[in-house]
């Protein structure tokens, strides 16, 4: 049972990453993905991180909304380039 409320900060903690606001912003800026790479398929995740992200999205788990927010943030530059916005 997950007792931690899903949030971007708690997602980063769950993934074993620095969860400070600046660290999250830096991670997102430094790890942008092309549109064709799914968030769970990014090359920088460990197997455990990849599995957690994939399972969270597939199971429509409590974390799915936050994982989807991370997905959108990691694809922001690629979407802007593709749409010109």
Q: How many Å separate Cα 29 from the centre of its chain?
A: 12
Mean pLDDT of the chain: 92
Q: Which domain holds residue 28?
A: 8-83
| Burial profile 72-84: b = 16 or more Cβ within 10 angstroms, e = fewer | ebbbeeeeeeeee
Q: What is the pLDDT of residues 14-34, one digit of tens each?
A: 999 999 999 999 999 999 999
20 in any annotated domain: yes
Q: How many independent structural domains does the chain possess?
A: 1
- Between CA 23 and CA 26 the distance in angstroms is 5
2 in any annotated domain: no
Q: How many CB atoms lie within 10 A of CB 33?
A: 19
On the question of pLDDT at 2 being above 80, the answer is: no
55 in any annotated domain: yes
3 in any annotated domain: no
Across the range 67-80, mean pLDDT stands at 94
**CATH number assigned to the domain comprising residue 75:** 1.10.10.1130
Contact indicator for 12, 67 with CB cutoff of 8 Å: no
Gyration radius from the chain CA atoms:
13
16 in any annotated domain: yes
């Amino acid at each position: 049972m997950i007792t931690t409320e899903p949030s971007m900060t708690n997602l980063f903690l769950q993934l074993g990453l620095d969860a400070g606001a600046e660290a999250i912003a830096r991670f997102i800026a430094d790890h942008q993905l092309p549109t064709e790479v799914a968030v769970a398929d990014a090359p920088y995740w460990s197997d455990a991180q990849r599995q957690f992200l994939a399972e969270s999205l597939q199971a429509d788990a409590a974390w799915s909304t936050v994982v989807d927010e991370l997905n959108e943030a990691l694809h922001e530059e690629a979407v802007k380039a593709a749409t010109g916005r």
